[in-house]
Structure 1
Amino acid sequence: MPARVTPGRTDGLITLGTADALWVDLTADSAVPTGPGAFTCSPARAGVGYVLLGGHVVATVRASGGRWSVPEAEVRRAAAELNAVEVDRQDLVHIGPFRWAPRQEHDEEAPLRWRRRITGELREPGCPERAARREDGRPHHLAGIDWRQILVERTRDGAQRTWWLPRAVVRLLDAAEHAERRWVHAARTRRASAAATEPSSRPRRARDADGRRTTSPEGPPASPRPYTKELEGQLYSVLSRKPGTPRRVAGWACAVCRTAPATVLDHCHEHGYVRAPVCQSCNTLERPDHLYRNDIRVANRYTRLFHTDADDWLRHWHRCPGCRARTTLPLPHLAAWTAHTACRPLRPTHRAPRGRTPCGVLRVSWTGSQNTPRSCLLTVTVDFCPSGEHRVLARVPYREAAERFRVWLAETAPAVAAAAGPDRLDGLPAQPRPVIADTSGEDLELF
């Protein structure tokens, strides 16, 4: 007997079409735009036991008569979670195109892979124009989110197009992809366990016409566990080649924000050590904006890295034994800190309706490297400044920048500073990149 929906109740089952309309209605005022077809149009997978709504997995149930339904309460719960998300449309994350596509775990049964889907659609001939007019009539949702409404397209050097989404939306889609992968993995495990214990004479579980399961998996597994320094001191070049590392990383929560599931291993490019598993959003947040190999733009997000969330980020960067022993940051991060923090009083301002606004865009370049500190020089400039484009604010020797950072670190994050320094060498790996105090040459004590 098919399940009956009682109007006004939230504990019954509703059809997929009704769920589509309910989802759009409940999220009409959400900061994250939603679209129709969340349950009935690709990439929805109601026929295999679940549907993604934001970062939430909603189980589907096949009632007698062959129609798929979903619990109304679960739709309402997912809508409430989405409505609680705050979106800063100025805090954007670059989602493509990249010279090399981001590595993603290949899983045919977990098909969201939202970055690949967005890139594929945006690279279709004439796609931007068609998307602007919505002529194709196709719903453009991912996990119930209408990503086209908040996609930002920029043009670099007058030719190359780049695509950006608000960080809050990127985190939602990453969480949805992670939840789907864990859901499918749990379903496979249950099927394998059932097959191993089932007598050979017992008939197999019924399947529908497409050969798929006609019952939905149980609820998703537990949340990712906190990261507790399990990978400290290990080299990324070794760990990244070990089989099963991506699945192991996915079992942790992001070591920085501690809320989203981890997707990548962040590591120090100068010393090669793993820092911690982080989510894609945090990994993008801390990545310097390189214009050239020795030249970076200092984006507004550094306000967060060096001010509002400084303690967390400094602790994260110092998970690298090399940076911790030297009491410094990798050269691009140190350069960004020098421009954004140490040279703040030198940046010109101009009048604005509410006070004065910093002028232009900060850029910092360097000559030499951290391995030759005497010859390494940081040059901080302001691009697009009305008082003179490419205006040079300061030239700071590397050793002076490093010393300024040590003083600032002790004042800003004393707990992080207390755990750093050249005398903290006891827990460092001996091979293949030791960090050892060398006093045999002037200016090379910590290099």
Structure 2
Amino acid sequence: MWVSPQTAHHRLVDLTHHTSVPAYLDHVNRYTFAASSHVFIGEVPVLGHKRGQLWKFADRDIQEAGRRLAGLGIDPDDLTDAGLESDERDTWRSSVRSWLDQALFTHAPQGESLPAGFPGRHLPSGYVRRTVASTRPLSLLTWSGRAWLIPRGYADLLDRAEKAEADLTLQATVCSGCGTRAESDQWRSSSAMGFVVLCPACAAKTARPYSGHLRGRLYTKAFAKRSRADAFLCAMCPEPRRALYWDHCHSHGLFRGPLCVTCNNAEGGPGFLNRDGAVDHLLQCTVCRSRRTLPPQHHENVVRRLFDFGPHMACTHDPSWRMFYVQEDGAVLARFQCYQHQPALEWSVLVPADDVSALVRRFVDESAGSAP
């Protein structure tokens, strides 16, 4: 039986709440599986399955991992130094140390010393709820007066989980087509069934380049489901990479082309126009191309680049802080502040909609390539 992460969380809490190391899955989201497609419950990796674009778990896997963790019988009174002074990075100890630093700043901002025997569970709950291997380490820490102590068996469990996770992450860098070790994290990408690792050569064998055959057609979800985007290569990645989504213009409702998850998420972001081929891709919407325009979410970035704002008349410094807002009528409102000027200056500049349109046309003419 397949269960959602929320159901799996409640199942796991029921199985482990009576133990010294209870487990939780309330931290699981769609980014959890990006590194290895697994979530760790203690030292047990539980595979996530993507079904209907949603992540699920096999209920038997959740129950087995919960029972195994509950059966460890870790003694909460057998304490040892947690070793948080280690200089190692990207370990469970470095994560816990970082959380403690933040939590203690909140809990004792004036540098107050903690009393011996202070339990970590009394730190701010937002930090205590953070997980390692689906457990909450801060809730199991105790301050001795000189160092943070942790149950010995629990520290050993986290060490085993960390090693197992590193091994799985390494396995997830191997191309599933030819077995070549990945040279780039771009080889690993999301698919309709989960994450896959394909080198450019194998990606080119499993999908074909997009020919533009949907240019000018109206995007509909029904058609997008019938014509799967993962049959094509991403239209923007410099090396062959299988697509997952049909990207379309939300202003005019027309297809633009197939994109991988990374490129699809980047479209509309502030740095998208810096990418090679970004403007040509946006102009795959035939209405945008004929009108020499771009979707409104990109207009503020064009104005930021091309409009000559200059300093305030009462200040010789370049403005050091900027926020841009696209207005309903198409104008762009730019807010500035200069901290170097005392007292600080704040001012706004409204770029009229007609000027914005002219700047966008200029940007398109200067940036667009030779795509038909």
TM-score grouping bracket, smaller chain normalisation: 0.3 to 0.5
